[in-house]
A and B are shown apart, each in its own frame.
Chain A
Amino acid sequence: MTDLTKRTAAETAAAIANGEVSAVEVAEAHLDRIAKVDDRINAFLHVDAEGALAAARAVDAKRAAGEKLGPLAGVPLALKDLFTTRGIPTTCGSKILEGWLPPYDATVTRRLREADVVILGKSNMDEFAMGSSTENSAYGPTRNPWDLDRIPGGSGGGSAAALASFQAPLAIGTDTGGSIRQPGAVTGTVGVKPTYGGVSRYGMVAFSSSLDQGGPCARTVLDAALLHEAIAGYDMLDSTSIDAPVPAVVEAAKLGATQGIKGLRVGVVKQFAGEGYQAGVVQRFQESVELLRALGAEIVEIDCPSFDFALPAYYLIAPSECSSNLARFDAMRYGLRVGDDGAHSAEEVTALTREAGFGAEVKRRIMLGTYALSSGYYDAYYGQAQKVRTLIIRDFEAAFTQVDVLVSPTTPTTAFKIGERADDPMAMYLADLCTIPTNLAGNAGMSLPCGLAPEDGLPVGLQILAPAMADDRLYRVGAALEAALLEQWGRPILDLAPAL
């Protein structure tokens, strides 16, 4: 029996294109899977069965008419609820947008539709992408398919968990400080943060505009590359969109798997180690580095002294931008309105609505950002953080003169227990220690599974970092490592996850 939900996106697309299965069959298989397991996972905030089937039917009709299908035509996908979808609920995991039906599509949404990708629904996330565990969703936490008592990472826990529980072969995430890579790491899936400006942010609800970047999530490097090419590229509606050809990531993924990485210079960042790193994570990471060496890569230790200050800089810059970005949720034009009884003024209704509509982490960050931008504090906090950002960029620049890519563990630990860090923001923030510098510099980064930690049997992620617009290097290295690991393991890592 072939389980359609176990296939990779590339396999599914090929099967649909050659008529082995219909897109509708594929969509139905995934909708069935969602119906079967998602009450335990809570990966989806909204399932659009009708829309998915309609899109699938359209693909089948195209094929019947002899039209050429795109490389992902008919492949189902979970779309992070941070992207607007016309007429389909978009909540960003927040009560303040409960029931909102956007009147327009995000550019990513539009490109997915144009690529005939079948959008199954909207995936769960930390409210407005603020969090590392998806516990901050107003609609309940998402659970890690490896251990339902553990977090699936965040903010894109819904997307990662949907992949790991075979509810979708593809998902879209957003990465502001690691929200694609960290969930990928703790769920045994692949996640890529493209170069800032590589994927349009238009219609992606802003958390921290200078850091946010949408990107692909998948179970294999090649699938991620296929999705990357479907959504990336210049968009005139986003001023920070890069007007240059998309790096050839699919080709790079294929090359990596077949030609390897001989002669590649790989940097191991000194700062991503030491206290706070779980032994099993470090072990699997070091084994992978040795594997890269065995594959012909030259391994170099790299010193990036400013990276130690990335976390504090991030927790000033991101909250500052979010305090401004989230000001628009004021109960005037869309979303929740509380206290409109004729007695309260607009000002009061806004404050009452925001109080009722935002969760604790969002409020914390809004106030932290408001503080960091306040007159009298700006220079010491926001201004200083932006200077640290410059130093981090310089560290990367220096590093990339010596090596082609950098590698590190994606996260210091494997998935922690739900509730463990829920009201300890500082502990929670440590989950993004290794992922944050990339966001501050605008570079590209990938996380892919590199094994299970011996002490808890949970997935460990390896992070690869490349210079801006060299996203293809991630795929080249990632695919090579993936192929070598697969050869060692004999089967995909997700086959080791407990059955649901």
Chain B
Amino acid sequence: MPTASSCDHSPARLQTGPGTRSIVLFGPPNAGKTSVYNQLTGSRFKTVNYPGATVDYAVGRLKGRTDVVVLDTPGIVSVVPRTSDERVAVSTLVGVGKLVPGASETPEVVLTTVDATQPTRHLVLVRQLLRAGIQPVVVLTMNDLARAKGRALDPDLLSAALGIPVLAVDGRTGAGMPALLTTLEEQLAGDSPVPHLPSVVTEEELQADFKAAEALVGSSTVLGQKPSRRDASDRIDRVALHPIFGLVVFAGAMSLLFWCVFAAAVPFQSAIDWAVTGTGAFLSTHLPNAWYSHLLVDGVVAGVGAVLVFVPQIAILFFLIGLMEDSGYLARGAVLVDRPLSAIGLNGRSFVPLLSGFACAIPAAMAARTIPGRKERMLTLLVIPLTSCSARLPVWGLLLAFLVPPGHAWAGGLALTAIYLASLAMVSVAAFAGGKILGLEPSPTGFQIELPTWRTPILKNALVSAMDRTVSYLRRAGGTILAISILFWALMNLPSRDASLAWTAGHWLTPLLRPMGLDWRVGISLLAAFAAREVFVSALAVVFSVDGAKDATQGILHAMRDAVLPSGAHIFTFATCAGLVVFFLIALQCLSTVAVVRRESGSVKFALGQMTSFIVVAWVLAVAVVQGLRLVGIS
């Protein structure tokens, strides 16, 4: 999934002082930029096989140097940016000083990559840079592949023709790096010229650039005679994009993906459950019977444990998306779904953001930067929160226990599939309705995507990236969940258990909750879920005072089964749980998502309008489901 190259590489964490010099990596997508970045910085930043995988810039230090930083930027095909990830890339050419404290406004060195297997398109960008007054250092990547194809390029000939340094580097093995580092040292000593970036490139200029690049490639190619590797990749595409087999493979891949998320996670979940239960039991037998023991066992262990159980599913989803990304399949997926997505106003480019949405809406919203058309991008941002993100998994797990007869694993699987399909249906309806309501013009730019060469995914890459993403998810969500669990326990127990603060707050919500068949305790848990949806489960665990010593999920279930309204009617019935499922499917309860959508859409009105309308629609539909079910005699 194209994630922001953020977290550990954000400039905020990199201490830089005055006199810092910068190297900006600027170049086309899928040209090995990130591999070169990793070589230069010693970072283990994963390289992915999807155009637009880097949607934000990354900053690292040049290996062994404290005064030189390297920036990796989103892939770009022209110095005139058209999408917002492209704007990020171009902005680094003139505004490094704003991103890296202590650096001059323009980078000392611009490093651009040219993939030797497809040099013409990439050399066009080099020519545009030269015209803009930038003298880039060209890194020729994949020349080994080009040689295998019988079409290697001679870096010296290219360098002589262009008048700038051209060095062949193998991003994976690091061959050619010493020479590159020497060149960089020389260039860093020079000054940083101010570029004159054009606001437009005319069609004539572009065509002339292509002609010149073709001539350049012609005069710098060292011909050999070998079969093309691209042909093998094209042969796979003939199946992967085939009208029938392509769809069969796609349906199979998606089914397998979600099946794995649920089935393969079971043993890990059992292990975590066992550990949480053990911890609770151990603590409650060894701690004195005091308030802090209850806080620890009922608040912290029960609350955090109920959420921890779902981490394996999240990790597996990240891992599998990583594998598909690495192989090049994600770009093919985008091609296969372009037609259906365009029918609802989206674009094939919406595929990766939407798929990522099933893990987490935040990286998904950032991935939407790669969508060129404004309408398609805004609509994608609109519907991303409707994809059933992993934070909802704990909620589904809990509610399904009331919707599906116990002891029928297949029925649970079926119900979960239904929820995911309902989530996709919501996406379609919202995209369609949103397009009408927002009145956005369809953009004329259509859909184009580069299909990177197929490659065998590297297991280690996918594992590392899944680990990184899961840890960063835990870091972001974990603290919140812990804090909310503690705060929640306090609200439930202060000033006293019978007249708690939560009781007061929850009662204000009663008019809204009664039609959903719920009481103040569920209401307050719903409120807590605004911090993060999965908090709903831990909040319920606290609100119905689950003993942390019991099995993490079973404990909540027992307490919920026994919970009754003042009238004596059970709270958690088939009808109310179905209503809650509908509510959680639609309501935009994640404040982090609202913040990211605001930033990505550039509109407070859009983000707040989205949140409000989703919550209102969610409540109305949830009430309709509960009351409708009751009308037909299902309580």
Q: Do chains A and B stick together as partners? A: no
Chain A residues with a Cβ under 8 A of chain B: none
Chain B residues packing against A (C-beta within 8 Å): none
